[in-house]
Structure 1
Amino acid sequence: MYNILRKNIYKDDNFILGGIFSSGFIEIKGNGFHLTKVIKEAETKRVFGGHLQEVFQINGKTIFLGRSLGAIIYDHSTKQKKEIKDSENKSIFKYHLLNNKVIAQSENGQLFYLTKNDWKLIKKPSFLKKYLPSQLLQLQDENIFFITKNGKAFIRNKEDQKEVISISALLNAKDNQNIKLKIQDNNIFIKLNHSIVVYSLKHKRILFIKEFEQSLYDFTLDKQGNIWLSTNDGVYFIETNTPFYAQTNKNKIKSRFYDNERIIDIKLNLTDLIITENRQERRINGIGKLRTFVTYDNLRFLCTSSGTYILKNGLVEKIYDKGSYNVLRQKINNDIRYYILSNSNLAILNAQLNLLKEEEIERFKYSQSSILYQNNILYSTIRKVIRLTLSADGKRIIKNEQLGFPKETFLAFRLQEFNNNLKVNNAYGIFEIDASNNFKTQEITEHIKNLTKDSSGNYDVYFSFAHFIDNNTILTTPAYIRSNNDQNLPLLLQKNKQGQWRANYTPFMHFEKSFVLDLIKNPKGNYEFITKDYIIEYNPTREVNTDYAFKSYIRDVLIKTIKTDATDKKQIRTSLADSSIYTSHTHNKSPTELNYQYNTLTFTYASDSWAAYKRNEYSYQLIGQDDTWSNWSKEQKKEYTNLREGTYTFRVRCRNIYGTISSVATYTFTILPPWYRTWWAYLTYSLIAIFLLLGGSIGYGRYRTRQIRRRNQELERVVEERTEEIRTQQEELKTTNEELVRANQRIQEERDEKVKIYLQEATDATAKLQEIRQILSKEGAE
């Protein structure tokens, strides 16, 4: 069992873990750890009497302290340890670290300080002897915060000490022996037996209280100011770097009202009223559906569906029989008027709560809110705001009209007065009512710099509830947080020096999806979001660090291996199983080379940003495979399959809810090629290719020689055949030529013969013609 958990100031991401069995240093990475033991169980029994009481770190050393002055000093430079024997004085000692000295305080008030080798008695008078503090914490400027044995808390400076009454009120003198104190960022962290308290030295008030049923042992703080708490049933994480404090809505309340020291709660069923005073609860029911609680001086009014009641000494008395929504009051000429608003009447009562008059008004089903301002009653229905103007004596209504709005309205209006000005809001906007200009409305939220609008001209965020923190800051929230779109969140509207409104989501990024029933301001000046499951208190003055540095971690790298199941002797089964080759919390060096069969890798990763850590987003890249970073995703696992041989670097980063990006975690590895793509395989392939080329070249040469010889022979045969063919053709041509010559001679002879015949015939014909001419000539002469 471990009873001490402290941050190791000499090493990042390292803590001191101490207990009965062993003590040492634990290194945390991601969600894993590695413990280096410094003190074993036998040493704890021998030196500390079986109980480690306290641990301090000063001057490069860690000092482990037992109940009766036994100590082990571990030197971080030499990594050696030295024992200081247990005192013969069997008193149980308290230990303090004051001015860089370890002080031991016995039960009878004796004081000792630790030297290099022993304890020395302190004889001089000291405030330690006077107050016998059970716990002590040194602050800046030599101031000291301490808690006395009888349960009083003080802050001591050089001149005097002042009691911290708010802390003293929480301390129980019987149970203040197990208190632990730490300081960080000007805040004191106090661990009691069953609660954790955070006190601000700057604001001089308690910032945070959380109670536990478990017994609390010890705690440590991380860089972000969050608490890691060891208890009797495990380790708890408490986020304190936030302006919120949440408690379970165990009574399922819908609305809350504060009445001095009393808390008035209306349950979701609207029939039970819970009055809490001095942590004692008293319930009232049977008076109809509860709508609101109003207090004026010593009068407390309950408005219900069955009438209006006065609450006195835990009893109720009905003063008006009709169902009502609100009771308003104003003073006119030293006289008091009360106005009870119902869904069809306005009842006017005097200071003695006697009914003076009932005025009829336009009937409505439901009124969200109402207010009395400058002799005017304004009340809201589902989609309207009605103005009732009263007479000068306040005894009657002289005017009834509906207020106009510059844009479409949505759901019920809520009215409020801030700095003597009227404000009204609904889901679509926040408006200011100018009473001096006939109650004209003007939208405050018309131009918000960094909010987007939909196609209808309405913002993507609803303003269902709104509170003016100051003239330049408005706290607003939708009824349905994170509905429709993930940006439908509460926000702060903040006005800059130029008078322009800007939305600030940052404080509210923690909010999960929920339904807001009411938003109220409590007596501490904080605001309470009442949801179905939680009551969330928001402190607008709390400074939160959202720009802190944090890391990403690669938690595991897994490969696929073949798992053999031989339980069934008849049939041996094999399957793929994940096998880890790297884990962030061990110190083994991961293999840089993997056989090709392990080319499917799975990476899991995380970060140490604990603000709403479930909504952290991650982006990764495998250099050698991916060209760019992946899209942001809440997934904390990535698998790569069938990677080719080569060197790769997997890197991952985280983006928290505030938009801050972490450092990059990397893991480099090499996948070896398969045997058939190794260098020696390629060398073998080359040699075989050379031998094949040489052998092929020789064989091919021989083959070509044979082919050429055969070709030559074939050509010779073809030439002989062609030559013979030519010789034959020549002889044929010669014979043909001779025949042609002879035929030509015959033709010539025949032609010459025919020509002679033709000439002879022509001559004969000519002679005959000559004879005929002569004859004709003779006849003509005659």
Structure 2
Amino acid sequence: MKLAKSYFYITFFTLFTISFFGQVKNIGLPDVRNYKRNEYKGGTQNWNIDQDKNGNLYFANNNGLLQFDGSSWRKYPLPNLTSVRCLKIDKSGKIFVGGYNEFGYFQPDNKGKLQYTSLAKKVDKNKIKIIDFIWKIHSFNNQTIFQSFARAYIFTNGKLSILKAPKRFQFSFTVNNRLYFQDVEKGILEYKNGKLYSLPNTTSLNNTEIWAMYSLGKNKTLIITLEKGLFIYENNTVKAWNTEANNFVKRNNSLGGVIINNKFIVLNSVLDGIAICDFDGKIIQHINRKKGLQNNTVLTSFIDNKNNLWLGLDNGITFVNESSPFTYFGFSYDISTVYASVIHQGNLYVATNQGVFYHAWNNSFKEDVFKLVEGTTAQSWNVQVIDNELICANNRGALAIKGGSVVKIIDSKGYFGFKKIPNHPGFFIGSNYDGFAIFQKTPNGLTFKNQVAGFDKSSNSFELDQSYLWLKKDESIYKMSLSEDLSRFSSIKKIDRLVPEFKNIGSIQKIDGKIYFQTHNHFYKYSIEQEIFYEDKNMTKLFKNIPVINALSEDSQSNLWYAYDESLGVLMKKNNTYKNIVAPFSNLTGNLVSNYLSVNTIDSKNIFIGLTDGLAHYDSELLNNFVTKPKAFIRSFSFPGDTIIFGNNQSKTENIRIPYSSNHVRFTFSSPTYENLENVQFSYQLEPFDDKWSNWSTISIKEYTNLREGDYVMKVKVRNSYGVQSEPSTISFTVSPPWYRHFLALMLYFVLLIVAIYVISNRIKMKIRKNKYYETIEQRRLYLEKESKIRQEQYDLEKEIEKLKNDKLQIKILAKDKELVNNSLQVVKKNKILNGIIHKLKEIDIDALDDSTKFQVSKLNKSIVKEVNTDKSWKDLEKHIKNVHFEFLKRLKEKFPTISPRELDLSTYLLMNMSTKEIAEIMNISTGGVELARYRLRKKLGLNKKENLIGFLMSI
């Protein structure tokens, strides 16, 4: 009965969601992305937001106009550098802006750069000295109206007119193609045909600021005030809108809001973020700083062309992905890593790494946090409903839960999960840290029976069929048989591969009541009769084009959820056919719990997925409107000296021609795809430079250097975070050739080539004639040279013969010199001997001799003296030596003028290679005298000790 009641709650809640909530979900929080001022490089406050037809977003910021294209931010300040308080983009693409004492518009020039045109200059400064802040801009009946506190400036067909406030304007609003002003004295005024008309009974709001007005249907207008709350103007009457939304505004003050799909109202608050309510005033979603906003003061809100919400904050900008089929329960709901989830008796229970948490399922999730189930504070691997009893597989044991607390600890061992045992009604088996245990259902609930003996390995991946318990551990499986009394395993077999060609087992799972074994996306069943694994071709075919999976689970709707590479996909079953859906889950990549695929499908609109940082809620029925084809833009094209910007609503640029000196080009890409920007990827190809498309990358910049001259086409496409690709975006440009490769230059080269060929051919002919002439001359010259050479050789031969004769003669002379020297030395020796004899004769006592002997001795002495005195050999020797070595002595005297005759003689003797003894005898000096003379000669000749004296003399 309780289970039926629970399903009633689920069904009712789902129908309620379909009927009233539509796209804005009240389950969980949408994905929130904050942009801080250091990212957009602007001021803190952002007062207004708008979007052009190309998807670019614009923000009225304290530092000027901000533009965001999905890849980069650009800032355009006003001339007086004041803050921009409002902006409006009209049908022509002009971006009208207003600030303090300044208003005008931006529009692109012929190169796509936004240029500002001031309309404030049209105001007569003699009549209006201070324009004040422009707070609102409206495009109304082909007019652009700028509203300040004192007046409105109406720009029509290039002219400016002025509408004065009766007392003082607060703000202005367009509702159902009608323009309203709030005056502090006259109340709400409607602008028609250039005049203001009071709305009856609206002066009651004079004491508060109206920040927004929206239509809630025919003749029913919602008025949002700063601090007095919400009011309905209907049938010329103002009355308080006493709803949950009104209480929120009174409590937190409101700065206006925006309408979503004519179904929901976004209420900006000063103190507590935003609240989204339906047209009945029931708050569906509340997002504040605790739930992801970077600031609680929301100055403006805007719905883009994909129904996503942008918030301009008092400090920063925030993107809220309201169009996504995903919402999340994270840190703001006080839950962390989720391993499993289940609904039981009106509560949603989640098993996390910190314990089991729960939240009432039939109540709104917008405010409450999840509460901890008392007694479960520990790692909780699973939470399951077993025979209408909620059981938690916890680190502390198997725990029975009721409401918000543990009512019984069934077993104190740590558990991973529980399953029914086939053919044993009322019996269950649980996988614990020591193996497996048996549990039995009793009137008092689930009770522990016994630990199964014979196996002590643990794992969370196991299945049972009629015969075996199958356990996957690491990359193997175990086939185990339970005994009849369930006390032990009667057989255990480890299996490392299912078939010879595939090693390792990827996963085991039960699909449609049958156990499948998966390896490399091939699915096998086990034949008990043949004891073999055989492939199920249909299941294998189903996963043929899917990446290799590591986990697979069948949900309550027979959909097949699979995990691969930290990503998630599903084969949705409808009419017995499966449709593979991957794209929406790419945002969950990297956030899935490893080895714990947790998908809890209640129905097609309520699917819970466990994440490492919380729980995701997925509404599969929102998918069709969610994934759209993105658009790619080549945002800018830069080259040295210039930059061309595309996508600013300018007219299409013709083919761009750049000079060869600027052939270093740079492209930036963008895509107005603001969901999960970190996963948006680009691919590009520059034809004909690139042979193929580049690999997908998140980098949105590409440069090319040193491009050759020619025509180029740059193509880029984008792939959003859901894997959907855009059509290519292209621009064409031409790199002009350098002057020396220009067409005219080539023509000139051709003419010069013809002239050069003509000139060269004539020169060649002349050269040939000259060559023939010079060849004759050369032959004659060679003949004469040859003849001259023969004569020279004859002359040289004669000179050589003469030289040989001279050498031979010189040798003979030297031989004669040597012979003469020897003879002279013999004479010297003879004379020396004769002188010795004379001395000996003088020593004889002549008086002692007789007269005859005396006469003979005297005659002998005279004869010897005569012989000595009459010998001219020495003088002949000197004369001969001087004649033979005359040239040598002459050269020596010229080089060394101070040399003495005695030294010249010594030099001659040394040149003749005479020994020291011979020189001493010739010069009649001692050998020591010869050495002394040699020393003096060396000194006069300037020779050092290492130089050879004789060699030096021979070189002269």
Correspondence for 1:221: 303
Q: Choose the corresponding residue for 2:337, options 253, 274, 277.
A: 253
Q: Distance in 1 between matches of 2:714 and 2:741?
A: 24
* Secondary structure, counterpart of 1:668 in structure 2: strand
Give the letter aligned to residue 337 of structure 2: I
Out of 317, 337, 347, which is 1:235 matched to?
317
2:709 alignment partner, one of 645, 652, 656 = 645
Q: In the aligned structure 1, how far is the partner of 2:699 from the partner of 2:240?
A: 52
Letter in 2 for 1:502: K
Structure 2 equivalent of residue 466 of structure 1: 553
Distance 1:515 1:671, change over 3 A: same
CA distance in 2, matches of 1:413, 1:659: 29
Q: How does 1:176-325 map to 2 (within 5 A)?
A: 176-184=253-261, 191-193=268-270, 194-195=272-273, 206=284, 211-214=292-295, 215-248=297-330, 251-257=335-341, 264-268=349-353, 272-274=355-357, 278-279=368-369, 281-282=371-372, 290-293=380-383, 301-309=391-399, 316=406, 318-323=408-413, 325=415
Within a 5 Å distance, the mapping from 1:121-136 to structure 2 comes to 121-123=198-200, 135-136=212-213
Q: Which residue of 1 aligns with 2:142?
A: 60
Residue 101 of structure 2 is matched in structure 1 by: 42
Query: In 2, are the aligned partners of 1:208 and 1:245 still within 8 Å (CA)?
Result: no
Conservation of the 8 A alpha-carbon contact between 2:398 and 2:414: yes
* Contact 2:459 2:471 survives alignment (8 Å): yes
Q: What does the per-residue CA deviation read over 1:459-490, in whole Å, with 9 as the maximum and x for residues that have no partner? A: 6343725353535xx15131xx435xxxxx42
For residues 487-520 of structure 1, the C-alpha deviation after alignment (integer angstroms, 9 at most, x for no partner) is: xx422323454x3333222322333234334524
Larger displacement relative to structure 2 (29-38 or 643-652): 29-38
Which of the pair is proportionally richer in helix? 2
1:263-412 aligned within 5 A: 264-268=349-353, 272-274=355-357, 278-279=368-369, 281-282=371-372, 290-293=380-383, 301-309=391-399, 316=406, 318-323=408-413, 325=415, 341=430, 343-348=435-440, 350-352=442-444, 363=455, 365-366=457-458, 368=460, 381-382=471-472, 383=477, 410=505
Question: Contact conserved, 1:367 with 1:379, CA < 8 A, in 2?
Answer: no
Is the 1:340–1:347 contact (alpha carbons within 8 Å) kept by the matching residues of 2?
yes
Q: Deviations over 1:250-289 (max 9, x none)?
A: 7533435456676655443x6x455668437557568775
Residue-pair matches, total: 645
Rounded to whole Å, the distance in 1 between the matches of 2:131 and 2:598 is 55
Match of residue 871 from structure 2: none
2:167 is equivalent to residue 84 of structure 1: no
Could you tell me how far apart the structure 2 residues matched to 1:432 and 1:138 are?
Answer: 61
Instruction: For residue 676 of structure 1, give the secondary structure of its aligned residue in structure 2.
Output: helix
Worse-matched range after superposition: 397-406 or 696-705:
397-406
What does residue 436 of structure 1 align with?
none
Q: Indicate yes or no: 2:252 matched with 1:175.
A: yes
Q: Which runs of 5+ in 1 are unaligned?
A: 331-335, 391-395, 434-440, 454-458, 484-488, 561-578, 714-782
- Cα distance, 1:548 vs structure 2: 3.6
Alignment-derived partner of residue 71 in structure 1: 152
Q: Which has the higher strand share?
A: 1
Aligned to 1:506: 583
**What is aligned with 2:72?**
31
Equivalent positions of 1:716-727 (< 5 A) are: none
The equivalent of 2:843 in structure 1 is none
Aligned residue identity for 2:600:
K
CA separation of 1:135 and 1:493: change in aligned 2, threshold 3 A = same
The residue matched to 1:470 in structure 2 has which SS? coil
Residue 97 of structure 1 aligns with which residue? 174
Change (3 A) 1:184 1:57: farther
Larger relative contact order (CA 8 Å, sep ≥ 6)? 2
For the residue of structure 1 that corresponds to 2:598, the secondary structure is strand
For residue 668 of structure 1, report the CA deviation from its aligned partner: 3.2
For 1:403 and 1:125, the matched residues in 2 are separated by 85
1:7 to 2:94 alignment: no
Partner residue, 1:538: 618
Change (3 A) 1:638 1:185: farther
CA distance in 2, matches of 1:426, 1:140: 58
- In the TM superposition, what is the alpha-carbon distance from 1:174 to its structure 2 partner? 1.8
Aligned counterpart, 1:737: none
Write the deviation string for residues 332-357 of structure 1: whole angstroms up to 9, x where unpaired: xxxx9796846554344643459696
Check 1:703–1:70 CA distance in 2 against 1; reply closer, same or farther (3 A cut): closer
TM-score between the two structures when normalised by the length of structure 2: 0.53
SS of equivalent residue, structure 1 residue 252: coil
Query: CA 1:580 to 1:501, structure 2 compared with 1: closer, same or farther past 3 Å?
Result: same
CA pair 430-125 structure 1, distance change in 2 beyond 3 A = farther
Q: Which amino acid aligns with 2:301?
A: F
Q: Which residue of 2 aligns with 1:447?
A: 539
Flag the structure with larger Rg.
Answer: 2
Note the alpha carbon deviations across 1:285-339, whole angstroms, 9 max, x for none. 6877544445689976544455444557866565544426468999xxxxx9796
Say yes or no: does 1:582 pair with 2:644. yes
Match of 1:482 among 544, 548, 565: 565
Listed one character per residue, the Cα deviations across residues 564-613 of structure 1 (whole Å, up to 9, x for unaligned) are xxxxxxxxxxxxxxx76334478898994433333333333232233444
The 3-state SS of whatever aligns with 2:555 is strand
Q: CA deviation at 1:87?
A: 4.1
CA–CA distance in structure 2, aligned partners of residues 523 and 152 of structure 1? 37
3-state SS of paired residue (1:174):
helix
Q: SS at the partner of 1:178?
A: strand
Q: How far apart in 1 are the matches of 2:275 and 2:522?
A: 38
Which secondary structure does the structure 2 equivalent of 1:212 belong to? coil
Q: Which amino acid aligns with 2:164?
A: K
Displacement after TM superposition at 1:120 (Å): 1.5
- Which string of whole-angstrom CA distances, capped at 9 and with x for unpartnered residues, describes residues 98-137 of structure 1? 33212345789943212243432112799999x9997543
Q: After superposition, what is the alpha-carbon deviation per residue over 1:667-726, rounded to whole angstroms, capped at 9, x for unaligned?
A: 33333323332345445545555555565566667667778999999xxxxxxxxxxxxx
**Which residue of the partner structure matches residue 108 of structure 2?**
none
SS at match of 2:254: helix
Return the match for 1:492 from 570, 579, 593. Answer: 570
Separation (CA, whole Å) in 2 of partners of 1:689 and 1:612: 62
Contact 1:266 1:273 in 2 (8 A): yes
Superposition map of 1:768-779 within 5 A: none
Q: Per-residue displacement from partner, 1:198-219 (whole Å, max 9, x unpaired)?
A: 67899x9958966414132223
3-state SS, counterpart of residue 219 of structure 1: strand
In structure 2, how many angstroms separate the alpha carbons of the residues matched to 1:107 and 1:423?
75
SS for the counterpart of 1:582 is strand
Tell me if structure 2 keeps the 8 A contact 1:381–1:412: no
Closer, same or farther: CA 178–311 of 1 in aligned 2, 3 Å? same
| 1:33 Cα offset (Å) | 4.4
CA contact (8 A) 2:714 2:730 kept: yes
CA distance change for structure 1 residues 500 and 475 in 2, over 3 Å: closer, same or farther? closer
Amino acid at match of 2:598: L
User: Is the alpha carbon distance of 1:707 and 1:313 closer, same or farther for their aligned partners in structure 2, counting shifts above 3 Å?
Assistant: closer
- In 2 relative to 1, CA 233–614 (structure 1 residues): closer, same or farther, beyond 3 Å? same
Residues in 1 aligned to 2:185 and 2:390: alpha-carbon distance in whole angstroms: 55
Contact kept in structure 1, 2:630 and 2:720, CA below 8 Å: no
Matched, 1:673 2:737: yes
Q: Which range moves more in the overlay, 530-539 or 544-553?
A: 544-553
SS of 1:171 mapped into structure 2: helix
